[in-house]
Homo-oligomer: A and B are copies of this chain.
Amino acid sequence: MDPMTSSTPSPRSRKRPEERREEILGAAADIALEEGIERITLRAVADRLGVRPGLITHYFPAAEDLVIEAFTRAAEVERERFFPAAGTPVERLVHFIRYIESGTSAPLARLWLNARHLSRFSEPLRVVLDEQDALDRERLLALLREGVAAGEFGEVDVEVVCARIFIAVDGSGSYVNSGADLLGEAHARFISDVAEWALGMPSGALR
């Protein structure tokens, strides 16, 4: 039987450590997004890779470390979709708002909801979540500061605007998570409404 096409217990595929480590982290990040962070288990990760659970332990002696790194990875990958590199501050802000209001960010919203909850019980997760939160905040703050400097936003307190927008994003995400749109149409435009309000812009300016 050709060992390459053998369907039964695939012959040991030995990989370079860095590559395997990346594979494991990727699988764990996928699980976090699809099934929830708490489902990142030695078994679940191993099954995704067609590998034995002991191997995961070999790379991550403490399972919690895998969880932390996988969450970080998932957060980083998803974040890059939020803030485009090019465009004026207003254009980038509109992209950010669209990204959320369109529902495209739903997986990330779920991941965040998930992490915020679990952070009550895991100090390491709380720390890394705070770090990722800070990174997001820095992105938006930079965008806002740039816009103020360019005269696109008027003279606003960027800290306050940033806080208002992010709280709105989290609130919106809570409802997106459950799938049901309990709050009607006002929900779909909530982020842009809040952003316009916080920035002192006329209603509809960011749509």
Q: What does the 1/0 interface line of A122-150 toward B look like (CB < 8 Å)?
A: 00001001100110010000000000000
Q: What does the 1/0 interface line of A169-198 toward B look like (CB < 8 Å)?
A: 111111101111011101100100110010
* Known pairs A116-B113, A186-B160, A190-B164; A174 contacts B170 (CB<8 A): yes
Chain B residues whose C-beta falls within 8 Å of the C-beta of A153 in the assembled complex: none
A15 at interface (Cβ–Cβ under 8 A)?
A: no
Subset of 12 A-B contacts with CB under 8 Å: A36-B120, A110-B117, A114-B117, A116-B174, A116-B177, A119-B178, A130-B178, A137-B183, A167-B190, A168-B168, A168-B171, A170-B174
A159 at interface (Cβ–Cβ under 8 A)?
A: yes
A99 at interface (Cβ–Cβ under 8 A)?
A: no
How many A residues, CB 8 Å from partner? Answer: 45
New contact pairs (13) apart from A164-B190, A168-B171, CB-CB < 8 Å: A112-B174, A113-B174, A114-B117, A119-B177, A120-B177, A130-B182, A134-B182, A164-B193, A167-B171, A167-B174, A167-B175, A170-B171, A170-B175
Chain B residues whose C-beta falls within 8 Å of the C-beta of A110 in the assembled complex: 117, 120
Docked complex Cα distance between A177 and B171 (Å): 13
Q: Check B187 against A167 for contact (C-beta < 8 Å).
A: yes
Give the one of A113, A129, A174 with max B CB within 10 A: A174
Task: Count identical subunits in the complex.
Answer: 2
Q: Check A186 against B168 for contact (C-beta < 8 Å).
A: no
Residues of A20-52 at the interface with B, using a CB-CB cut-off of 8 Å, are 36, 38
Q: Check A137 against B186 for contact (C-beta < 8 Å).
A: no
Closest residue on chain B to residue A180 by CB atoms = B130
Give the one of A110, A117, A129, A159 with max B CB within 10 A: A117
